[in-house]
Amino acid sequence: MQTEPLKPKGEQLLRDFVAQLRAIHIDQLERKWITISLLVIGLFVGIITIDAFFHGVNPPSKVETVDSASLHLNKEFAEDNLGVQVDEKGNVIVRMVAGRYAFFPKHISVPAETPITLRWVSMDVLHGVHIPMTNMSTMIVPGYVAEITTTFPKPGEYPVLCNEYCGMGHNHMWSNISVIAKEDWTAPVKSAAKGGSTNE
């Protein structure tokens, strides 16, 4: 019995497949639409690629877990550790809790034109957060920390919206972030005492 090497067999299969594909009659009109659909897919893949590389729009790349049921006992997301802090390196870090039907703390002020790392957790169900005019848009899945770094382009009031249906009050779940000119912004006093990065 002869045993043929694996590779040529694979090649033969591929050649047969291509030959069969060629033999299929494809209507002219159908061929046109196949081309159009492939172009549309190419366009979307292109948009995703450009967004990922140039606009910093990415799926979350790290998985960080948290116990959503005991956030009040968690050092990092305990109530008095929430809000805006500046760490030793001068990075602005914001810790927020989403719960039906609000974002806590209710109001924060951050500087414009400064990279800001926002860490979101949910205290109950799945929420989302979207801040128009920025790349801030993510799900807040119970049990996980959603971390996104964003920069607010200019001072003003930015809406913070929940964009995942989370219950009857979902459409009331929104608040504002005040973005202040970089030179007018002062770090909150509590920042130095409690640098929160407990999970690193």
Amino acid at 5: P
Q: Does 123 bind ligand CUA (CB under 6 A)?
A: no
How many chain residues bind ligand CUA (CB under 6 A)?
A: 7
Q: Out of 162, 177, 179, 196, which residue is the one contacting ligand CUA (CB under 6 A)?
A: 162
Helical H segments across the chain, by residue range: 6-23, 28-54
Q: Does 127 bind ligand CUA (CB under 6 A)?
A: yes
Q: Does 173 bind ligand CUA (CB under 6 A)?
A: yes
Q: Does 164 bind ligand CUA (CB under 6 A)?
A: yes
| Shortest Cβ 12–ligand CUA spacing (Å) | 56
Distance from C-alpha of 107 to C-alpha of 101, rounded to nearest angstrom:
14
Distance from C-alpha of 29 to C-alpha of 179, rounded to nearest angstrom:
54
CA distances to 75, 94, 104, 170, 177 from 132, in Å? 30, 17, 19, 18, 11
Measured from the CB atom, the residue of 92 and 120 that comes closer to ligand CUA is 120
Residue 72 φ/ψ, nearest 5 degrees: -65, -20
Q: Does 170 bind ligand CUA (CB under 6 A)?
A: yes
Q: Does 165 bind ligand CUA (CB under 6 A)?
A: yes
For ligand CUA, which stretch binds (CB under 6 A), given 49-57, 151-159, 162-170, 184-192?
162-170
Q: Does 66 bind ligand CUA (CB under 6 A)?
A: no
Q: Does 166 bind ligand CUA (CB under 6 A)?
A: yes
| Shortest Cβ 156–ligand CUA spacing (Å) | 23
Residue 91 buriedness (CB in 10 A; 0-12 / 13-18 / 19+): middle
Q: Does 136 bind ligand CUA (CB under 6 A)?
A: no
Question: Pick from 187, 21, 177: which is nearest to 109 by CA?
Answer: 177
Q: Does 76 bind ligand CUA (CB under 6 A)?
A: no
Q: Which residue has the tokens 């927020």?
A: 96
- Interface residues with ligand CUA (CB under 6 A) are 127, 162, 164-166, 170, 173
